[in-house]
């Protein structure tokens, strides 16, 4: 098989193209897909690249089929993945719940678009809750929320590795902006950076071993036992994979909280506000599930106020409130713009309304 | 006695003895259909390569029926799961096992599109004219006038359509590499022959294979043994003609 | 002091080649070793068919893909002028087409939904109209005027001296020269790389595009040589 990256190389491309290259570098064997904007170019680039590297692709009749075929591919022992968005993400929850019950390590890429219904093909962060908690029952999954093209590449590698190590369905949650915008990143072979690719093991077709895989149970206790085991393993995984970034003042008057592409605006706002003399902190969950609860509690406990910024009407905010319940008295405000992009300037304006007058704050803390 | 023993040998080797006696109701047709499949797996010596996918519905009860790799899926979704596995590992011999509700209603798009793509898979569908596991509601294959849980006065084709002719539909949309047949659990040797052809078609890499088996459901039909066989033989065959509907063209190269 | 961080908005009608200008600018910046972020059609301006390309070029990391004020604003139709005036700030370089012929014709009314899926460089070939008209006037944004207004009759130049289809390359040449955001030579390189396959097929395209780029550049140089740059 051809080497994918002979050496590390800079590239300037769209997020969808990054995913195709990253999946290739992660050792993905086959993609199953169904067209929906704004993830289509993942399929376009993958189908251009895949035959050159002996990888497979199947376009199915709908998202249900794409999702379930992905499960078949994974059970056959291949690194299989799928991509979708919006209404497709809704249909995809059915196969995802089967992956949760049967611990099938499939990888999904979600490029959020506006909702509900068909809404826009452009952008939102409105699929955060669906991607973290969709499906019937309380399925267990791993969700990464990326902010830059470099992260799309890095976390795609991580998603495949962690999916196969821990055997929970794993997500890279992006959005229409990340899908369509172009920026630079470094492409690399993970093994040259000392990251070994996780090996795979088939659930079907192993010589000398007959396996019966079930997702249906006859009695309550049987299910409870299985779920308890999964939960214990998920909690163990959570401790190992949970990721976040925290920056800015350690005892801020205002803590900005955002995930994904919006955190680029909040990071820039945090920097500019601090340059103006305000005491501002910044917290960004990178894994949305598991949510970095302890880390958030720690910084929130030292914050006077919290401002959650998201292109949705309170999906991240409810995760934040949930995490902080009983641990922090800081009021949680929202800059909530469902389906709309957010600029650093907007964050700064909102923050300045909440922040005490400049100079006063510093005196207060010294 | 000797003759009977020959005609009814011990259970197929590919059956999982630990899950026998099986979980189907007395008089159910599934056991016969699965016996045909079991004997075919034995005769072709493919147990090690076979993946048995079962739908939701009574077919679900077969999840540990065989001593071969098996996977439960969701209602209607068995075809994409086994098609995905086959695409990922073409060495596998994959079988999607389902009922009429799974194949012709909730999963109809998967049957149609897998057939159109000539997926290298074998689909076995038991047609007992009702949703059996959920208590006998109308299915796509319910006969006109047939009483079910949701057609208490008998199925009215004006309001709910005619019974689905699955194999005829599949035959109409597949390439000449496909195998399509309708058998009945009332004629075991013939049904087994169809199942064998369907698996052999996949082994030869020719393409999509589909066998529907007319099957009895005395529990939901509320019939005794005699009535069950009579309904299967006399009533169902009026709407569902038996026989091979499409036999793949075998190229000269393949014949040699 | 030379600007370290550039926010550029190019807006126009579907078929004017607006997105290609954005793409080439961003990719040239990348080639020149800078950080760049280009995003097509993510503004309210696109409502009603205006196509908008948003480009940021910087020496360090770039924040959100959207921004509120433009350091270079290039509206290429009257509608685009109206819809993008909120990007004007007191340091904006404002570049527009002041030809006395009809602005390019709009045939794509659904940019917002599907039009932006694909950036098709060949789609703008017939974009430039021929009907006489009053040139557009740059608007004022709530009393704020751009620092420098560059009117260039790109439609007329394209039609009279070159080919209508290279209208956008004339504009690109003007953008690069007026702002000095990047060396023109890098932009030339990117253009040739970008049109690679097509250029091999049609050799005259290479010449045509390079001439258009240079024409836009020299127009700005000559026009403001005497007056000096603001």
Per-residue model confidence as pLDDT tens digits over A131-174: 999 999 999 999 999 999 999 999 999 999 999 999 999 999 99
Contact by Cβ (8 Å): C136, C96: yes
Nearest to B109 among A56, A62, A213 (CB): A62
Closest CA to A266 of A316, A206, A202: A316
From chain A, the residues in CB contact with C64 under 8 A are: 261-262, 264-265, 268, 341-344
Cα separation, C131 vs C50, whole angstroms: 21
Is the CB of residue A95 less than 8 Å away from at least one CB of chain B?
A: yes
Q: Tell whether C29 is covered by a domain.
A: yes
Closest CA to A48 of A61, A73, A31, A36: A31
Q: What is the mean pLDDT of residues A313-331?
A: 95
Percent of chain B past pLDDT 70, that is, above it, reads 96
Percent of chain A past pLDDT 90, that is, above it, reads 88
In this prediction, residue C197 has a pLDDT band, given cuts at 50, 70 and 90, of low
Is the CB of residue A30 less than 8 Å away from at least one CB of chain B?
A: yes
pLDDT at C118: 33
Q: Tell whether B40 is covered by a domain.
A: yes
pLDDT at C127: 41
CB contact under 8 A, B73 and A210: no
Contact by Cβ (8 Å): B115, B179: no
Q: CA of B90 to nearest chain A CA: how many angstroms apart? A: 10
Q: Tell whether A3 is covered by a domain.
A: no
Q: Tell whether A262 is covered by a domain.
A: yes
Q: Do residues A285 and A192 share a domain? A: no
Spacing of C-alpha A361 from chain mean position: 36
Judged by CB atoms within 8 Å, which residues 78-117 of A form the interface with C? none
In the DSSP assignment, the letter for residue C141 is: B
- Looking at chain C, which subunits does it touch, using at least 3 CB pairs closer than 8 Å as the criterion? A
Low-confidence ranges of chain B (pLDDT < 70): 1-9, 256
Q: Tell whether B1 is covered by a domain.
A: no
Q: Tell whether C191 is covered by a domain.
A: yes
Q: Tell whether B3 is covered by a domain.
A: no
Helix (H) or strand (E) holding A293: helix A293-300
Q: Tell whether B10 is covered by a domain.
A: no
From chain B, the residues in CB contact with A94 under 8 A are: 74, 77
CB pairs under 8 A between A and B: 128
From chain C, the residues in CB contact with A15 under 8 A are: none
Q: CA of A123 to nearest chain B CA: how many angstroms apart? A: 30
Cα separation, A124 vs B150, whole angstroms: 43
Q: CA of B31 to nearest chain A CA: how many angstroms apart? A: 18
CB contact under 8 A, C66 and A342: yes
pLDDT at B39: 97
Spacing of C-alpha B74 from chain mean position: 17
CATH number at residue C29: 3.40.920.10
pLDDT at C136: 65
Q: Tell whether A1 is covered by a domain.
A: no
Judged by CB atoms within 8 Å, which residues 318-357 of A form the interface with C? 341-346
Chain A meets chain C (3+ C-beta pairs below 8 A): yes
Is the CB of residue A122 less than 8 Å away from at least one CB of chain C?
A: yes
Structural domain span for residue C138: 5-223
Chain C meets chain B (3+ C-beta pairs below 8 A): no
Contact by Cβ (8 Å): A346, A335: yes
Structural domain span for residue B245: 20-255
CB contact under 8 A, A78 and B89: yes
In this prediction, residue C131 has a pLDDT band, given cuts at 50, 70 and 90, of low
State the residue for tokens 């189907």. B24
Q: Do residues A268 and A152 share a domain? A: no
Q: Tell whether B115 is covered by a domain.
A: yes
Q: Which residue has the higher pLDDT, B195 or C137?
A: B195
CB contact under 8 A, A205 and B49: yes
Cα separation, A245 vs A242, whole angstroms: 11
* Cis peptide bond upstream of A19, omega within 30: no
In this prediction, residue C41 has a pLDDT band, given cuts at 50, 70 and 90, of confident
Q: CA of C93 to nearest chain A CA: how many angstroms apart? A: 21
Q: Which ipTM value was assigned to this complex?
A: 0.87
Number of structural domains chain A divides into: 2
Residue in chain B closest to A213 (alpha carbons) equals B71
CB contact under 8 A, C64 and A264: yes
Mean pLDDT of chain A: 94
Q: Which residue has the higher pLDDT, C79 or A34?
A: A34
CB pairs under 8 A between A and C: 70
CATH number at residue A63: 3.40.50.970
Q: Tell whether A208 is covered by a domain.
A: no
- DSSP reduced 3-state for B7: helix
CB contact under 8 A, A341 and C42: yes
- Looking at chain B, which subunits does it touch, using at least 3 CB pairs closer than 8 Å as the criterion? A
pLDDT in tens, A173-214: 999 999 999 999 999 999 999 999 999 999 999 999 999 999
Is the CB of residue A77 less than 8 Å away from at least one CB of chain B?
A: yes
**DSSP codes joined into one string, A98-151:** HHHHHT---EEEEEE---SSS--SS--STTHHHHHH-SSS----EEEE--SHHH
Q: Tell whether B46 is covered by a domain.
A: yes
List Cα–Cα distances, B249 to B119, B207, B255, in angstroms. 17, 11, 10
From chain A, the residues in CB contact with B113 under 8 A are: 60-61, 65
Number of structural domains chain C divides into: 1
Q: Tell whether A135 is covered by a domain.
A: yes
- DSSP reduced 3-state for A220: helix
Closest CA to B53 of A68, A23, C93, A231: A68
Q: CA neighbours within 13 Å on the CB side: how many for B64?
A: 14
Q: What is the mean pLDDT of residues C179-184?
A: 96
Per-residue tokens: A187? 């492409």
CB contact under 8 A, B84 and A73: yes
pLDDT in tens, B57-114: 999 999 999 999 999 999 999 999 999 999 999 999 999 999 999 999 999 999 999 9
Nearest to A73 among B87, B109, B113 (CB): B87
Q: Tell whether C177 is covered by a domain.
A: yes
Residue in chain B closest to A33 (alpha carbons) equals B84
pLDDT of A112 over the 80 cut: yes
CB contact under 8 A, A264 and C68: no
Nearest to C42 among A10, A122, A264 (CB): A122
State the residue for tokens 């009483």. B147
From chain B, the residues in CB contact with A74 under 8 A are: 88
Cα separation, A212 vs A206, whole angstroms: 12
Q: CA of B236 to nearest chain A CA: how many angstroms apart? A: 31
Interacting residues of C77 by C-beta distance below 8 A, sequence separation 6+: C11, C12, C13, C16, C50, C97, C103, C104, C106, C136
Q: Which residues on chain C place their C-beta less than 8 Å from a C-beta of chain A?
A: 23, 26-27, 30, 35-40, 42, 62-68, 112-114, 116-117
Query: Where does chain B have alpha helices with state H?
Result: 2-7, 30-44, 78-88, 100-101, 108-116, 157-160, 166-173, 188-203, 218-221, 225-230, 237-239, 252-255
Closest CA to C96 of C170, C5, C19: C170
Cα separation, B124 vs B211, whole angstroms: 5
In this prediction, residue A357 has a pLDDT band, given cuts at 50, 70 and 90, of confident
Q: What is the mean pLDDT of residues C185-208?
A: 81
From chain C, the residues in CB contact with A344 under 8 A are: 63-64, 67
Q: Do residues A192 and A295 share a domain? A: no
CB contact under 8 A, A80 and B84: yes
Helix (H) or strand (E) holding A186: strand A182-187
State the residue for tokens 């801020």. A252
* pTM for this entry: 0.87
CATH number at residue B227: 3.40.50.970
pLDDT at C164: 80
Contact by Cβ (8 Å): B88, A29: yes
Contact by Cβ (8 Å): B129, B163: yes
Structural domain span for residue A353: 246-365
Q: Tell whether C230 is covered by a domain.
A: no
Q: Do residues A34 and A57 share a domain? A: yes
Cα separation, A114 vs A89, whole angstroms: 12
Is the CB of residue A4 less than 8 Å away from at least one CB of chain C?
A: no
* Cis peptide bond upstream of A140, omega within 30: no
Q: Do residues A230 and A257 share a domain? A: no
Cα separation, B164 vs B168, whole angstroms: 9
- DSSP reduced 3-state for A321: helix
CB contact under 8 A, B87 and A56: yes
Q: CA of A136 to nearest chain B CA: how many angstroms apart? A: 13
pLDDT in tens, A276-299: 999 999 999 999 999 999 999 999
CB contact under 8 A, A343 and C39: no
């Amino acid at each position: 098989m051809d080497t994918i990256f002979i050496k590390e190389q800079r590239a300037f491309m769209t997020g969808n193209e990054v995913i195709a290259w990253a999946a290739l570098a992660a050792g993905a064997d086959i993609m199953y897909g169904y067209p929906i904007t704004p993830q289509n170019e993942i399929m376009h680039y993958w189908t251009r690249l895949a035959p050159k590297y002996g990888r497979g692709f199947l376009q199915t009749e709908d998202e249900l089929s794409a999702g379930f075929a992905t499960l078949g591919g994974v059970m056959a022992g291949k690194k299989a993945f799928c991509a979708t968005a919006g209404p497709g993400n809704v249909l995809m929850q059915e196969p995802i719940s089967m992956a949760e019950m049967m611990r099938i390590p499939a990888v999904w890429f979600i490029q959020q678009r506006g909702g509900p219904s068909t809404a826009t093909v452009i952008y939102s962060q409105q699929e955060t809750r669906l991607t973290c908690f969709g499906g019937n029952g309380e399925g267990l999954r791993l969700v990464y929320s990326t902010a830059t093209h470099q992260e799309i590449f890095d976390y795609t590698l991580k998603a495949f590795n962690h999916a196969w190590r821990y055997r929970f369905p794993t997500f890279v949650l992006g959005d229409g902006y990340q899908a369509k915008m172009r920026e630079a990143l470094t492409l690399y072979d993970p093994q040259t950076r000392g990251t070994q690719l996780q090996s795979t093991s088939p659930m079907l077709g192993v010589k000398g071993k007959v396996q019966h895989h079930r997702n249906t149970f006859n009695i309550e206790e049987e299910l409870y036992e299985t779920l308890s085991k999964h939960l214990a393993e998920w909690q163990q995984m959570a401790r190992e994979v949970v990721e976040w970034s925290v920056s800015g003042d350690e005892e801020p008057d205002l803590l900005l909280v955002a995930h994904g592409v919006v955190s680029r605006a909040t990071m820039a706002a945090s920097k500019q506000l601090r340059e103006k003399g305000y005491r501002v902190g910044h917290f960004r969950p990178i894994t949305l599930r598991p949510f970095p609860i302890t880390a958030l509690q720690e910084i929130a406990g030292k914050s006077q106020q919290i401002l959650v910024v998201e292109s949705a009407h309170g999906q991240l905010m409810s995760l934040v409130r949930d995490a902080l319940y009983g641990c922090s008295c800081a009021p949680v405000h929202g800059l909530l713009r469902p389906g709309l992009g957010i600029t650093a300037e907007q964050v700064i304006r909102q923050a300045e309304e909440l922040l005490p007058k400049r100079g006063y704050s510093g005196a207060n803390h010294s | 006695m000797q003759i009977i023993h020959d005609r009814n040998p011990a259970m197929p080797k590919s059956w999982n003895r630990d899950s026998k006696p099986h979980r189907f109701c007395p008089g159910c047709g599934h056991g016969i259909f699965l016996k045909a499949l079991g004997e075919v797996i034995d005769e072709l010596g493919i147990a090690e390569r076979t993946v048995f996918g079962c739908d939701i519905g009574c077919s679900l009860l077969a999840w540990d029926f065989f001593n071969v790799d098996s996977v439960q899926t969701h209602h209607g979704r068995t075809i994409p799961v086994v098609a995905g596995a086959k695409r990922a590992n073409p060495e596998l011999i994959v079988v999607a096992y389902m009922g009429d509700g799974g194949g012709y209603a909730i999963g109809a798009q998967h049957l149609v599109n897998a057939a159109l793509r000539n997926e290298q898979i074998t689909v076995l569908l038991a047609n007992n004219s009702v949703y059996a596991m959920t208590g006998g509601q109308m299915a796509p294959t319910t006969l006109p006038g047939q009483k079910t849980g949701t057609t208490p006065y008998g199925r009215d084709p004006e309001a709910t359509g005619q019974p689905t002719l699955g194999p005829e539909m599949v035959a109409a949309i597949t390439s000449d590499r496909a195998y399509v047949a309708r058998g009945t659990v009332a004629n075991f040797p013939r049904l087994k022959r169809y199942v064998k052809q369907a698996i052999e078609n996949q082994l030869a890499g020719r393409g999509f294979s589909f066998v529907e088996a007319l099957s009895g459901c005395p529990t939901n039909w509320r019939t005794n043994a005699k009535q069950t066989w009579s309904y299967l033989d006399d009533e169902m065959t009026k709407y569902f003609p038996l026989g091979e509907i499409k036999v793949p063209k075998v190229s000269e190269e393949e014949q040699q | 002091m030379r600007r370290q961080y550039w926010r550029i908005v190019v807006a126009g009608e579907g078929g004017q080649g607006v997105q290609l200008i954005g793409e080439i600018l961003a990719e040239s910046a990348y080639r020149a070793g800078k950080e760049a972020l280009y995003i097509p059609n993510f503004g309210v301006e696109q409502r009603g068919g205006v196509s908008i390309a948003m480009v940021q070029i910087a020496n360090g990391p770039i924040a959100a893909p959207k921004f509120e004020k433009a350091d270079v604003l290039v509206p290429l139709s009257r509608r685009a002028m109206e819809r993008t005036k909120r990007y004007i700030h007191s340091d904006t370089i404002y570049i527009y087409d002041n030809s006395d012929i009809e602005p390019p014709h709009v045939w794509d009314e659904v940019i917002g939904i599907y039009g932006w899926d694909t950036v098709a460089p060949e789609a703008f070939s017939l974009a430039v109209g021929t009907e006489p008209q009053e040139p557009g006037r740059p608007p004022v944004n709530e009393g704020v005027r751009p620092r420098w207004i560059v009117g260039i009759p790109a439609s007329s130049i394209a039609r009279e001296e070159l080919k209508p289809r290279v209208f956008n390359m004339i504009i690109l040449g003007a953008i690069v020269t007026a702002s000095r955001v990047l060396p023109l030579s890098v932009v030339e390189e990117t253009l040739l790389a970008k049109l690679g396959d097509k250029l091999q097929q049609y050799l005259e395209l290479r010449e045509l595009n390079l001439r258009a780029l240079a024409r836009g550049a020299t127009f700005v140089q000559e026009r403001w040589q005497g007056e000096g740059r603001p």
